[in-house]
Structure 1
Amino acid sequence: MKKLFLIFMIIPVIGCQTNQKPDKETVLKMINDDLNYPRTIDYEIFCSDPAHANKLLDLKLDEKRMVTIQKTQKLKDIGSPLISFTEAAQRYLIKPTEKERKLDIQKVKIAEETISDIKLGNSSESNGKTTIPVTYTVTCTNITPFSALMKRDLSKTITRSATLLFIDRKWKLMKP
């Protein structure tokens, strides 16, 4: 009777230790959680810096009514912000920290990176560990008018890779 009891206890334990390949939804959740997707791409604008003011002028963000730029300053105004943001730009602004506020730095949203596709490779085993290569595609969405500040072409997708490792009876994402 004891042997029969032990057999019935061992079978469920072995069944729980399966390293069956996870589905795409599970992998997507792991990537989103572990690598913080979707994530916001931002850009720091130094509002008192003439070089930043010139860059915004060159990109015509003042003509797009996103910013107002003070083109001349009196001697007493040196060091005060040259750049201010219009009402139209408010939804793209990221609330500054106290330190950023003191330094006249304003972060603006450029776009949002999201995962658009996942491909799971074939599992392999070495040194008693099972791994699965994962390839995922990152797409930029919600692209803002401030995207002109970035040199990167946000319309192009980026392909990245990671590895799933079966350890402690569950799949874990090995960060790239």
Structure 2
Amino acid sequence: MKKLFLIFMIIPVIGCQTNQKPDKDTVLKIIRKELNYPRTIDYDIFCSDPAHAKKLLDLKLDTAGMVTIQKTQKLKDIGSPLITFTKAAQPYLIKPTEKEKKVDIQKVKIAEETVSHIELGNSTESNGKKSIPVTYTVTSTNVTPFSVLMKRDFSKPIARSATLHFSDGKWKLMK
């Protein structure tokens, strides 16, 4: 009977020891959930703005067949969109909200970001709280022709860092 009692006392104590260093899969799940990975990088194009039309012309998105740009407007056409998107651009367009439609804003997909690699640092403890530094690598996939709108090299991965803290019986990401 005493042995049975000891077994039932040891199991809950062992089960509560969850503040040990989490494995990489657990950390990856936490990062994906807390930071919303994988995620889409988008860009707002103001279709009635001459500055946006000039930028698209300078980046040659019209010659790439993604947009059609109205270079001149008649007086009666002022306020109407200068930029329209071609059939080739359709897979990269994000459905606009009603508010965006009213002011002629079109979101375009630039790329998708995913977490590709995780490194866990050494855990530290201060004031009775455990924490672990985490370094993770973000890579861009499904890069679209609209990626030229952003001054970034999407072929290079980005190293980011965060810290995991153990509190309330679980690991939480501190951004």
- Measured in 2, the distance between the counterparts of 1:168 and 1:7 equals 26
2:45 maps to what in 1? 45
Residue type at the aligned position of 2:80: S
2:59 maps to what in 1? 59
- Measured in 2, the distance between the counterparts of 1:116 and 1:5 equals 47
2:7 maps to what in 1? 8
Residue type at the aligned position of 1:130: K
Once the two structures are superposed, residues 108-152 of structure 1 have per-residue CA deviations (whole angstroms, 9 ceiling, x without a partner) of 001111111100111111211111111001111111000010012
Greater shift in the superposed pair: 97-106 or 124-133: 124-133
Residue type at the aligned position of 1:9: F
2:83 maps to what in 1? 83
- Measured in 2, the distance between the counterparts of 1:48 and 1:164 equals 45
Runs of 5+ in structure 1 lacking a partner? none
Please give the root-mean-square deviation of Cα atoms over the aligned residues, in Å.
1.4
Q: Percent identity?
A: 74
Once the two structures are superposed, residues 54-89 of structure 1 have per-residue CA deviations (whole angstroms, 9 ceiling, x without a partner) of 110000000000000111111000000010000000
Matches within 5 A, 1:113-128: 113-128=113-128
> How many matched pairs?
174
SS of equivalent residue, structure 1 residue 53: helix
Shift of 1:10: 2.6
Greater shift in the superposed pair: 115-124 or 160-169: 160-169
Runs of 5+ in structure 2 lacking a partner? none
SS of equivalent residue, structure 2 residue 53: helix
Matches within 5 A, 1:125-144: 125-144=125-144
- Measured in 2, the distance between the counterparts of 1:48 and 1:171 equals 47
Using the size of structure 1 for normalisation, the TM-score is: 0.93
Shift of 1:26: 1.2
Once the two structures are superposed, residues 37-56 of structure 1 have per-residue CA deviations (whole angstroms, 9 ceiling, x without a partner) of 11111100000011110110
Residue type at the aligned position of 1:36: N
Matches within 5 A, 1:16-31: 16-18=15-17, 19-31=19-31
Greater shift in the superposed pair: 75-84 or 152-161: 152-161
Using the size of structure 2 for normalisation, the TM-score is: 0.94
- Measured in 2, the distance between the counterparts of 1:75 and 1:159 equals 50
